[in-house]
Amino acid sequence: MNADNLAGDINASLNPEQRTAAECIEGPVMLVAGAGTGKTKTLIHRCATMIKSGISPINILMVTFTNKAATEMRERLREMVGDSASHITAGTFHSVVYREMLSRYPDSSYLAEQGIDMANVGIMSDADSRKLLKESFEELGLPAKAYCDEHSIGLSDLDSQMGWARSRGYSLAEYRYQRVSGNEEVNPDFALVVEELWELYSQKCRAAGGIDFDDVLVVCAHMLEREPTIADSLGQRFRYLMLDEYQDTNPVQMRIMDAIARQHRNLFVVGDEKQSIYAFRGSDIQVIIGFLGRYQDAQIINMIRNYRSAPPVIECANAIAAAMNQRVPNSDGQLLAEAKIEPTPVSYYEFGNDLREASFIAGGIAKRLKAGVTGKNIAVLYRSRPIKQELERQLIAQGIPYLLEGDTAFFQRAEVRDTVALLRFVFQPWDNMAALRVLGSVSLGVSVNKVNAGLGQDSTVYEFLQAESDKRLKTTKAGIAPRTAAAKKVRAFLDVVDRTRECYEHFDDAEVLVKFVAEIWRIFFLPRVESAAKRATASQAQESVDLRKQNVGFVLEQFQEALGRGLTAEQAIEDLVLMAQASPDMDEEQDGKVRLMTMHASKGLEYDYLYVMGADSESLSAKEAEHFNDIEENRRLFYVAVTRAKRELCVTWSCQRLQHGQTLSTEQSPFVAEVLQHTGAGVVRG
């Protein structure tokens, strides 16, 4: 399709590479978008170009790394094409696969074979998954437990291996085959324990009527490959596929999208192999590097004009890129500095110990704030959280406000998880995991242990509670015996739950519905919150209760807003579960706070003034890396960190660092040495 004449006006503001990407519609395309080159703008213009060219928005699927990114793109697209933007399908891999693939093909023979009834299956939260995984670990047989004890293997080790296997699309049977066939990546003795845990965990998930995040993708990939007619049906619906952050894609995600695109081959992927930093989550840089091998006729477009960072920052980034060995073909990875920013040389500081390093950074931040720089425009990045402990103490001592990004997840707070579980139980009464979470947070006279002991294999907690609500006192007097005290409480609780659900089924008023749910929380959940708060001082107790009320109110506001957008209650709940990866900060003064975060957490962000601390051989290097891939990923992580800087960048390290109670002697990271050699920059020793 030639989009030049049809959409030329809307693309007039794009540079030549962006415009080429926006108007290259048919066939496989890889857009290698370097840091700060305007990939989001290009993606939105490409969507607008397709719609303006006559392509129906219902035929467009855009997969993003976060729900926030999907929302932002849809809103910006609406500014360009109007209400048509509402009809594209956009979301994360998990949300798109669950809603648009698994849920739309409940009669799949593969799903039936796996015992998955989509009418009675809900996507599980991370907390629920961890709970079942922990239970499964505790139920391992004696040989497996002995092996774990002997080799100091914990649940996290086994979970990590399961995650790795499922990121590659392995089912349990396929993982077992990898062990039997002698795959070098699979330790046979260790794999036997993983298989036992995996089987127990899968059984518990199915019994609870749940499917976890990893399983969503694995099941879908197998369904599409076992039943190609479903893949072709999805290909007919989604004739134009767009995948953002392709460098962070894992093999199972690749298999899903390749299966859907196999007929029309209209697959547009956007990524930058230099920013592939999530191998620990299962992403595989070979997916983006191997794109040309799978689509040999693909068009490759390189976007290298950086509009974010000052020239000295770009020089530093280019030096790191020049040392990388895992690269996309036909791209040298070098950026061009296009930002109109007064250049300030990148500074490199070496200190005798981490106390001096932290004191220097805190002092520099204090000067910036005194000069009128807003706190949110200053950030400090580090490889791992322990590195910033001394810096925190220095900031506190100097009265500098800061915000730890990513360290406290809003949706992991107990009252928030309770509220999401309550919504799931009200509108999905068959959801056993939610019901057990609710039961553990209220006082109904029925314990979770009692339910677990008395629950039948095919029954639900809701049915169990119904039976409990009708239990009577033993009496010899004539007439019907009164209910027990526990039965009365359970009956009262179920009554309001049932009435809320009936209100939803018969009335279309989101505000009233949320008021019903809020009242349930006030009556049954708040007493526990107030009781727990009483263990603190009076003022702290009230602050604690008020904060929890605000958090619950925020969750219910999100639920009401989703209903107002036309989502069903089930879809609104899925939204809450899917977005529960991070919490919005509730502090109204957050703009004045300096940002502290790991390098991984900084991905996609940018700051005027940036410190990269702990750039030493222990904290940021290949020293602990056992594999070439690990060395390369550490280097890419450094690249991601420095490309967050807009105006000024300062890289620091110390020669001695306190770690796990011991003083370690360190030196500059070899990655820093590569930059210094490439740029000729000097080091200031403080």
CA nearest neighbour of 411 among 546, 520, 559: 559
Residue 259, number of CB atoms within 10 A of its CB: 20
| 34 annotated among ligand-binding-site residues | yes
- DSSP letter, residue 273: G
36 is in an annotated binding site: yes
Question: Are the C-beta atoms of residues 468 and 446 closer than 8 Å to each other?
Answer: yes
Q: Which three-class secondary structure state does DSSP give residue 611?
A: strand
Beta pairing, strands 29-33 & 645-654: unpaired
Name the 3-class secondary structure at 607.
Answer: strand
445 annotated binding-site participant: no
Q: 647: Cβ–Cβ under 8 A, 6 or more apart, which residues?
A: 310, 341, 342, 344, 608, 609
CA neighbor of 42 nearest in space, from 242, 292, 241: 242
> Strand, helix or coil at 586?
coil
Give per-residue burial for 598-631: e unless 16+ CB within 10 Å, then b: bbbbbbeebbbbbbbbbbbbbbbbbeeeeeeeeb
Question: Number of helices (H) and strands (E), helices first, in the chain?
Answer: 30, 19
User: Pick from 130, 90, 126, 41: which is nearest to 577 by CA?
Assistant: 126
* 3-state SS assignment for residue 595: strand
Q: How far apart are the first and last CA of the chain?
A: 60
- Specify whether the CB–CB gap between 8 and 35 falls below 8 A: no
Cα(172)–Cα(165) distance, integer angstroms: 9
Q: Is 686 part of any known ligand binding site?
A: no
Q: Rounded to 10 degrees, what is the CA torsion of 622, 624, 630, 635?
A: -30
Give the position of tokens 């855009």. Answer: 62
Residue 35 among known ligand-binding residues? yes
What gap in Å lies between CA 36 and CA 274, rounded to an integer?
Answer: 13
Tell me how far apart the alpha carbons of residues 595 and 597 are, in angstroms, rounded to a whole number: 7
DSSP state of 246: G
CB atoms within 10 A of CB 109: 12
Question: Is 38 assigned a ligand-binding role in the annotation?
Answer: yes
Residues comprising the binding site for ATP? Answer: 33-40
Residues comprising the binding site? Answer: 33-40
